[in-house]
Every structure is written in structure tokens, then in C-alpha cells.
Structure 1
């Protein structure tokens, strides 16, 4: 089986990235994760990737005058490392249509809500405030706009009466760590 060279884009601690790295250790997983890029130099995920022997680099978005300049550098780094597929895992940058078009059908994201509900930030608080009885996470294709791409897979849990945004987030993260590796494999297999 030919494995697909995959980059993981992060901005923080890298919990979903670690789940992807663990899954990709299996020789029958179609993703070969060869690169981790963060837009924040303080992202703990960079150290975690490096400790696993994965090339980890930072392209700090604050070093660029425009979003387009940042994305040109990001794209150049991906091409320089022969990347074929991108998994966004807590990458807290909205990508422009131009960048998304270059990677159309080869870039996915995980989002902590049952899309199309609660695109963007503060999803757990919004679900609780709305009185929802269930919440979850979604893996979707990246399209222009915030969390607008077609859903690949979802996981659901019940919202408990005593849940607050933090407890709900912790319970959703458990679901994310199972869902994302399987959804990445499904998305890559769909390419062939």
C-alpha cells in the first residue's frame, strides 16, 4: 500500500495531532505523517511531534503583513516537504479561498460541534445555552468559509444536566481522539 504524505497543522497542545500520529504508526493506515506545522511558536504540539521524530516547524502568522503572505509561506513549506494531504488539528487560522483551492479535496479539519450547528468558536457553551440534549464533533472537508465543508464523520454524546463548557469539552475531546484518525483514513482512501 502506498501511503499518502500528510501534514498536520496545529496551533496548540496537539492532542488530536498525537492521536493521528499514533494511528499512522500502523502500517495499514493510509496516512504517513511527515510534517507538523504550527502558526504559533509556543504550541506544545511542536515539541511533541519533534519528540516523535516528526519534522516540526513554525510559520508564525504574526511575522507576515498579510494573510496571503502567510499562506504563501505555508504552501511553499508543504510543497517543499512533498505533502499530499493536510489534516488541520486545532489550527486556529481561517484559510482564504485561494489557499483552500490549492488543496481542495486534500484537506480536512476536526471541529467540536455537530456541524452544521455551531460553526466557529465557543461551541460547547453555545450548545449548552441553546438547551441542546446532544453535542459532538465533526470531521469535514475544508472549504472556503468557516467550518463549511462537507461532513466526513461525526461522533455524538449526550449533554448531561450538570455539564458546563469545560466538562463538555473534555468529554468531546475523548470522542475527537477516536474519530479523527478513522476519518483521516476514510478521507485518504476516498481519494483513490
Structure 2
């Protein structure tokens, strides 16, 4: 079932050819500052190393690039320990993350036994929290996490989406 196709996007496993677009998109400070584990500045070599270690995508665990046909890689979405995502700044506020996350969550719940998915965001990352709420995630708590980019602890809102809530939501 890989790649996943949405109305506007292709979600696919990353390749080393994606490294330049990946590094450029995630390496911008306005993107990187909200990605807690990401070092900054982010280099092409870091992108190559990250993409080289990517494992084959499964419904249970995946790292996928968000490809906009005609434009190339505009972001990344993953479901590892939690749902995470970023989108390159020129593509903000166009609904791409919600579209990509909906496809990934459909694939995840259809192909795994998972009963819920967690996610999180910096307490002041209104855009990411809005995407999570739009998808049906609900706050479950807060925790401090160390931000590599900011070099200090950041208050995170932790959210959760149940399989039941996702299925009750109906088609995206």
C-alpha cells in the first residue's frame, strides 16, 4: 500500500535523493525551533544520516516524506513513538499536514492493532496543536522536553487519539 496517495500529496518512503530538499525544509529556524530532538543548524550531512537509517514503512511504524507532485518533498510525517510532522515554511497553512496525517492515520489503524496514537507539540505551537485537534487528538497532559534547537526545556502539550474516536470521525 506504499506509497499513500491523497487528493494532493504522495506519502512515500524517503530516499537519499530527498536529502537536499529535506535539509532545506527542516533546516529553516522557524521549522526547526518546534522540532524538539532536531539539532540546529541542520546540515545536508545530517539529512543524509537521518534518511540512511530510515526503516521500511509499516502501518505500525513509519517515516514518510510528504511529496507534492511537481514540487517535490515539502515535509515529513512519522509515526514512531508518537505522530510527528513538519512542513516547509512556503507550504504552511494549506492543509497539507492534516491531509497527510489523515492518510497515515487511516493506514495505521487499518493495518495495526493499535488502540491509540499519541502526539505532542510545544505549548506555543498553535499550528501543530490545531492540526492535532482537527484530527481528533485530545490533551492528556504536559511535560518538559529538552529542545536541541533552543537549548533549553520546553513545555509540551501531550495529546492522544483513540482508534474509536478516529473511526467515529468518519472519512476525512
**TM-score, normalised relative to structure 2:** 0.34
Q: Which has the higher helix share?
A: 1
> Larger radius of gyration, structure 1 or 2?
1
**TM-score, normalised relative to structure 1:** 0.31
